[in-house]
Structure 1
Amino acid sequence: MTSSLATPAAASDLVQPTRLWTPKHVVVTASAAEQPHTAEILRRCEAAGVDDVTMLSGDRITGLRGGSDREVYARAKSTLAVVVAPPSARKPQPIPPSADWRIDLAKGCPAHCQYCYLAGSLSGPPITRVYANLDEVLAPIATHVGRGTVTSGTAERAHEGTTFEMSCYTDPLGIERVTGSLAAAIARVGAGEFGDDASIRFTTKFDDVTELATLDHGGRTRVRFSVNAADVAHRFEGGTARMPARLAALRTLARAGYPVGVTIAPIMPIPGWREQYGQLLADLADAVADVPDLDLTAEIITHRFTPASKDVLLGWYPATKLEMDEDARSAKRSKFGGVKYVYPKDVMAEMRSWFTAELDRTVPSAQLLYWT
C-alpha cells in the first residue's frame, strides 16, 4: 500500500457543518464506565451541551419501549448509549464488495433516512450504541492485515492495502461530535500502529469534517460521501447534511490529502432521474476540479428492500412515499433462502449503462469500484 502524508487543510478550505447531532439522553453502562475512552465521550457530550447523562448500575439498557412505534422510534433516535462491544461484535467479518473486513465503532445512526439500511438488520428500538472499549474494537486490524480478498487479495485494489469498513452499522461521522472514536481510529491507523498496509474507510451523509481535516491520516483513511439525486435526498434523507454541504466536505478532505469517494446510493429511477443524477455528477466534477493529486472512487448501489425491512420502515415512517411495491420489483434470493426486492432486469441494465457512461464522461478521474 502506498501512503502519503496528510496535508492539513487551510482555514479557507474548512466548511462549517450544517447539522450536528446532539443526543437528548446519554446512558453509560457500568462496564463502559470502566473504559478509558468513556472519559473522552463524556467530555465531548458535555462540550456539546448534553446535560442528561445517566450512569447505569448495570449493563442493561431499559426505558426505551412504551407508546406507539413512532414514540419508541423518537425516544431511541435521541439517545446515545455508551456500551462495551462483546467479543461477537469485535470479530471482523468479510464485507464484499466494499472492503476486506468490517470493524464497528458503533451500531445505530442519528439520521432519519426513510430507506434506512439498518431496518430489519438491528433488533429493538433504533438507539445508537457507541463502543467504549475502543482498543479492543480496533485490535483485530493488526491481526487481519494481509488476510483479505476484496482489496489486499486482488490486483485491481491491492494498492489500498487491507481495508476495514467502519460504516456498516453506523454513520461514524454523524456521531463523531460526541464520541471521538473516528478521529482516534484515523490517527492511530494513520500513524501505522496496525501496520503500513492497514487502511480504513467509511461512508457518511454528514459534513462535520473540521477536526478530520487537521488529522495526520497518512493516506490510510478513505472517506466516502453518500450522495443522491436532489429529490431523493430532500424527500428521504432527514436529519442529514444537504448535498452541496456533503460535496464541499468531500472537497475539504480531498484537499487535506485524504483518499475520497462517493457512494451514489440508493439509486432510484424517479421521474427525470437522468437529469437529476447528471446534475449530481456535474456538481461532483466541479467540487474536485482543481484538487491536486486527487484519489477519487465511486460505488453505485441501487435501492432494494426485504420484507422485514419494509415492515420496520413502515412502522417508523407510516406516511412515507418510498416505493416498496413487491409487484414492481424482481425477487432476488440468497443461498440461505432470504429474499430482497430489486428493480427489474431491464431497469437495472438501463441505469447501469447510463451511470457507467455518464460517470466516465463527467468525472473521468473517478474509479468505479462496483455497481450493485
Structure 2
Amino acid sequence: MDIVTSRPASLLRVKTIYLEPAVAQYARGREILARFPEAERIEVPSHWNIPGLHGNEGLVGEWLRTKRDVLVLGVRKSMSCRPNGRSADWIAPGSSNGCAMACAYCYVPRRKGYANPITVFVNIEQIAEALEKHARKLGPKTEPNQVDPAYWVYDIGENGDLSADALVSDNVRDLVALYRRIPNAKGSFATKYVNRELLDYDPQGKTRIRFSLMPQRAAKVVDVRTSPVAERIAAINDFVDAGYEVHLNFSPVIVYEGWRADYAELFAQVADALSPRARAQIAAEVIFLTHNEALHEVNLGWHPKAEAMLWVPKLQESKRSENGADNVRYRTGLKGKMVAIFKELLEQGLPGCPIRYAF
C-alpha cells in the first residue's frame, strides 16, 4: 500500500454517505447532503452500528480509501460535558467523531473499528445550546489553572480533527462563533491539518488551536494523510494574526533511534518560524505515546512500517485502561527519564515556552 501525505484536494472525495433517518430534518444535514450531491446515500439506523463498515476486518486493506470516500451523518444524543484538567477544563460533546486523516497511533478507530471515517453530527444548534448552558452554570473562572488563567476551556474536538471537519460543514465555524460570544469560556482543539479557511472565522482570541507537531522523519511514517509538519509550523503566525490563540501539541512523543536529535531540530525550526507576537502567547503540552494491542494488530494489516516505530516491547509495559483496553506505554522508570530529556531539549530550543503539562 502506498502511504502518502494527502493534499487538500484529495483528503476527501466523498462517494458514499451513511446517514441516520433524521438527518434530513436538520438544516445542517440538508446543507451537507447538498454539498455532495453525487454521493450514494445509504440510510442506517445508527451512526454507531453500520454493518459492513464498523467492525469489518475485511476493510483493513481499504483503510485509506474508506477515510477518503466515506462520510457518516448522525444526530448526537448525549450532551454531557466531562471534566478533564489537562488539555481543557471540560471535554465538550463533540460535533463530530472520526477523521479523514489516518494517523497510525490514533485511539479513535478502536471505538468503532476499522478506519472510522468522519461522522458529522447535524444537530449543531442543540450542541451549541448545551455548551452555552453549561458555561452559564459555571459562572466566571475565579482561580487560574494550567489550562487557562481566565477562561473555562472546552475541548471541542476530542475525537476528530476540526480543521478537516470544516471541509464538510459549517459546524466548526458555528462553534468558533459560539465561543466568541460566551463571556467566560473558550474552545480548543488539536489539529494536524492546515485549513486556511479557518483564518476567516474571526475567533477574537476565544478559540485555541493546538498544532500537533513531531519530527518530520517520524511524521512521514505515522502521520498519514496530514499536512506536512513544516506547513503546520508555517501556519502558526497566520493563525495568531487571525485572532486564534495557538499552542503546540507534542503528541504523541515517540521514542526511536535518533529521536533526541530530531526533536532538537524541530524545536529550532519552530523558534526560527515564530513571530514575536506568536512567541509571546505560545505554550506546549507533551504526551508520550500510549499504544493499544488491538490497534497494533489492525495496523499490521495496512501499515506495518508504522508499527515498527510504535510497537517496541523492549521499551514498553502493559497498562490496562479505565475502559478495560490492553494498552502499552513506555516503562515507568524509563518514561520519567525521557520526559525530563524532552523538557530540557524544549527549554534549550525554545527557551521560555511554558509546558502546561507533560506525561
TM-score by length of 1: 0.82
Kindly indicate whether residue 232 of structure 2 is the aligned counterpart of residue 243 of structure 1.
no
After superposition, where does 1:14-29 map in structure 2 within 5 Å? 18-20=7-9, 21-27=11-17, 28-29=19-20
What residue number does 2:3 align with?
none
CA displacement at 1:85 relative to structure 2: 1.1
**Aligned positions of 1:8-157 closer than 5 A:** 18-20=7-9, 21-27=11-17, 28-43=19-34, 45-46=35-36, 51-54=38-41, 56=43, 61-64=50-53, 68-71=58-61, 73-74=63-64, 76-77=66-67, 78-87=69-78, 90-103=79-92, 104-123=94-113, 126-145=116-135, 154-157=144-147
Unpaired segments ≥5 residues, structure 2: 1-5
Deviation at 1:183, TM superposition (A): 1.4
Q: Distance in 1 between matches of 2:355 and 2:315?
A: 28
Cα-Cα RMSD = 2.8
TM-score (norm 2): 0.85
What are the superposed Cα offsets for residues 140-198 of structure 1, whole Å, 9 maximum, x if unpaired? 222322777xx8765444524111112211011123112221111102221x1xx3011
Distance of aligned partners of 1:254 and 1:271 in 2 relative to their CA distance in 1, 3 Å threshold: same
Name 2:202's counterpart in structure 1.
Answer: 216
| Paired residues of 2:60 and 2:115 also in contact (CA < 8 A) | no
Aligned equivalents of 1:270, 1:67: Cα separation in 2 = 29
**Structure 1 residues 158 and 273, CA gap change in structure 2 (3 angstroms):** closer
Please state which structure has a larger fraction of its residues in helix: 2
Report deviation, 1:79. 0.4
**Match for residue 296 of structure 1 among 278, 282, 287:** 282
Q: Is the 8 A contact 2:135 2:184 kept in 1?
A: yes
Runs of 4 or more consecutive aligned structure 1 residues displaced over 6 Å after TM superposition: none
- Distance in 1 of aligned mates of 2:134 and 2:231: 35
Q: 2:323, 2:226 → 1: CA distance?
A: 34
Give the secondary-structure state (helix, strand or coil) at the position aligned to 2:83: strand
Q: Structure 1 residues 276 and 75, CA, compared in 2 at 3 Å: closer, same or farther?
A: closer
Q: Does 1:358 align with 2:358?
A: no
In the alignment, is the contact (CA less than 8 A) between 1:79 and 1:127 conserved in 2?
Answer: yes
The residue type paired with residue 211 of structure 2 is: F
- Corresponding residue of 1:13: none
Q: Which residue of 1 aligns with 2:164?
A: 174
* Contact map agreement 1:26 1:54 (CA 8 A) in 2: yes
Give the structure 2 partner of residue 252 of structure 1.
238
Counting aligned pairs with the same residue, the percent is 23
1:256-278 CA-partner distances (Å, limit 9, x unpaired): 23110111121122222111101
Bigger mean CA deviation after superposition, 135-144 or 161-170: 135-144
Higher normalized contact order (CA 8 Å, seq sep 6+, divided by chain length): 1
- 1:93: how far off? 1.9
For 2:221 and 2:151, how far apart are their aligned partners in 1? 37
1:357 is matched by which residue type in structure 2?
E
The Cα shift of 1:319 comes to 5.0
**Residues 122 and 25 (structure 1), Cα distance of their counterparts in 2 relative to 1, 3 Å cut:** same
Q: Unaligned 5+ residue runs, structure 1?
A: 1-16
Q: Which moved more, 1:98-107 or 1:308-317?
A: 308-317
Shift in Å, 1:59: 5.4
